[in-house]
Structure 1
Amino acid sequence: MLFSCALMPGIPGPRSGRSRGASATLGVSVSVIWPSMTTKSPPTSPWHPLSTAPGHPLAAIHGAEVGVGVRLAIEIGPQSKVGSDYFRAYLVSERLGRTAAPFLWGLINRGPFPGFNWVEVTQSTNRIALEDGDEVQIPEGIDIEIVRVLGTLVPVGGHLMIEYDSPHRAITARALMANVPPVATPLGAMMFAAGCGVAFKDWYISEGGREGARKLQGFRAIDAEHQERRERETLEALEAFMPLMRDLDWGIQAAVRPLADAAITLLRERLVVPDGPVAPRGV
C-alpha cells in the first residue's frame, strides 16, 4: 500500500547527514511503501483425500459399497489433541453422483491396548443434498450398512460410539430415556448386528456436557468367553424388560418390540437356550 504524508516541523525526516536535532521543512512529502495489512494467504483446507495418508486404517472402508451402486467416500482431517484422526464421509451413487456435502463426521483412534482402538461418529444426517441441488433421504437399509462398515474398523476389545442427538435418531433417544435395553433400540440393534454390541454404555450426559452430543457406545468382545457371558446378560435383561413394554409410549413400543423379539430369538439360538427362563451360565 502506498502511503504519502507531509512532514511537520519537529518530526525527523529521512536520514540525510543531519544531526539528530535537525527537522524536516513543512511541505516536504515523503512516500513510504507499507506492507499491505489486508492481503492474506488463501485458506488451506484441513480435509484431504485418503491418498495423502497411505496405509491409514480408514482406507479399508473408502469405496465400500453400502447400497446398490452406492459407495462411501472418506476424507481425512486434522488430529485431535489426543492424536485421534478426524474424518468425514460422502456418499457416491452411480446414478445420482456424489453428495454435495458430507453426511457423517467422526474420529478414529488406534493404540497398543484394546480400549485405545475405537471409532466415534460425532455428527450425522440422513438428509443429504446432491450437486444438482436436489435433496434425498438415506434409506434405512443403507444406514444399517454404513454402521456395519464402520464396525469393521473396530478390532476385538475396541468400541464403536455413535451420537443419537441427530433428528433421525430421535426414536433411539426416546427409547433410551425410557430405559429400553440399548440392543432393542434402532441404533443399538444396528451396532449389535455390526458386532459392536456385546455390551453398551449410554453417554446421555457426555463428560458433563463438554464433549458434544449424547452417544451410544457399543463394545466388541475380547474373546468367545467374554461374548458368551455378555450375551447371556443381554438376554436376561431383554426378557426381564418384555413385561414392562406395555407401559411404553405406543410409538416407541412399535419401534422397539420387533427389535427386542429378534434379539431374543437370535441370542437364544446362539446360546442354545431352549424355551423358558434363562439358566445361569454354566448350568
Structure 2
Amino acid sequence: MPDASEPWRAISETPDHPVAALDGLEVGQGVRLSVEVGAATRGATPFRAFLESDDLGRTLAPVFTARHHAGDGGESWVTVTEFAGHVPVNGGDVEIPEGIDLQIIQGLAGLVGAGGHLTMEYASDHRRVTARALRQGVPPAATPLGGMLFAVGCGAAFTDLGAVAGHARLQGYRALDTAHEVSRAPLMLDELEWFMDHSADLDWDLQLKCRPLAEAAITVLRSRLGVLARAFDVN
C-alpha cells in the first residue's frame, strides 16, 4: 500500500489494485490516462489521472481526482471530487473534449460493480450546464453529466447530492441486474416524458442541450420496457 508520507505514487507500484485498469486506458486518439494512487483511508483509495499523449506529453495537472471503494453492492463506488475542463501542458493548456470526457467516465464506471454507484462533481465550471439544468428541475438523465452516466451504465437511478447533502455532486447507480434495471425504467420514463411536455419554460440554451438527451434516454427506456413486455407475452 502507498505510504502516507508520500501522498501519490504511480499505480505501477500497486498493479493489483482495481484502479490499475485505468492506467494506459486510451480515452482519445493517441491520448491515454496515467494513474497515481494515494494512501487508503477508511477503506477508500484516493487516485488521480493525468492525460498523456505522444504529441503533448503528460499534462502538468491531473484531469480528475477521485476515491475508490471496493465491495459488494452499495459498497462498490467511485467518487470524483475534482474534474478539470482544461488541463495545463507545456506551452499552454488544452480543453477536454466531450469524447474524452465520456471515455473517462466510461472507464470510471468500469470500476463500479452491480448495485454500486459512480458519483461525479458538478461544481466545476466544466459542469456548469449540468448545474444550471439540475437547479431548474431537469431530470438528471437529461443533463450532460447525467446523460453520460446513463450511457455508461450508471444511470439506473440518480441522487442529486447538491440537493440532499450540500455537495454539488450527482450520484448515478448501477443496477443489480437486468431485472432491476427494467424495474427502474417506468419511473424514470415518466419523469423524462413529463419533462419533454413541460420544458418550454427552460432557458433556450438548456432546451437545446437537454431535450435531445431526454429523447435518447426515453428511447432506451422504452426499449427496455419493450423487452420486458415481450418476455411476458403469452401469445
Q: Normalising to structure 1: TM-score of the pair?
A: 0.76
Counterparts of residues 178-193 of structure 1 (less than 5 Å): 178-193=136-151
- State the 1:177 CA deviation: 0.8
Pairing 1:125–2:53 present: no
Superimposed CA distance per residue, residues 80-100 of structure 1 (whole angstroms, 9 cap, x where no aligned partner): 3x2210001100112211101
Structure 1 alignment gaps of length 5 or more: 1-42, 274-278
Higher helix share: 2
Counterparts of residues 95-244 of structure 1 (less than 5 Å): 95-111=55-71, 113-130=72-89, 132-205=90-163, 207=165, 209=166, 213-244=167-198
Q: Distance in 2 between matches of 1:206 and 1:48?
A: 34
Q: Secondary structure at the match of 2:154?
A: coil
Q: Secondary structure at the match of 1:272?
A: helix
Q: Distance in 2 between matches of 1:271 and 1:44?
A: 52
- State the 1:225 CA deviation: 1.3
Question: Whose RCO is larger (CA < 8 A, sep 6+)?
Answer: 2
Q: Distance in 1 between matches of 2:186 and 2:11?
A: 40
Q: Secondary structure at the match of 1:204?
A: helix
Superimposed CA distance per residue, residues 117-165 of structure 1 (whole angstroms, 9 cap, x where no aligned partner): 10010011110111x2311101111111111111111110110000000
Q: Are 1:50 and 1:59, in contact at CA under 8 Å, matched by a contact in 2?
A: yes
- Give the greater-gyration-radius structure (CA): 1
Q: Distance in 2 between matches of 1:93 and 1:191?
A: 25
- Residue in structure 2 matched with residue 65 of structure 1 by the alignment: 26
Q: Normalising to structure 2: TM-score of the pair?
A: 0.91
- State the 1:205 CA deviation: 4.7
Q: Are 1:246 and 1:253, in contact at CA under 8 Å, matched by a contact in 2?
A: yes
Q: Secondary structure at the match of 2:39?
A: strand
Residue type of the partner of 2:210? V
Residue type of the partner of 1:104? F
Among 88, 96, 99, the alignment partner of 2:48 is 88
Q: Are 2:185 and 2:224, in contact at CA under 8 Å, matched by a contact in 1?
A: no
- Residue in structure 1 matched with residue 216 of structure 2 by the alignment: 262
Q: Distance in 1 between matches of 2:50 and 2:39?
A: 17
Structure 2 alignment gaps of length 5 or more: none
- Residue in structure 2 matched with residue 253 of structure 1 by the alignment: 207
- State the 1:72 CA deviation: 0.7
% identical equivalent positions: 49
Stretches of 4+ moved more than 3 A in 1?
Answer: none
Q: Distance in 2 between matches of 1:232 and 1:87?
A: 36
Q: Distance in 2 between matches of 1:225 and 1:205?
A: 29
Q: Are 1:206 and 1:214, in contact at CA under 8 Å, matched by a contact in 2?
A: no
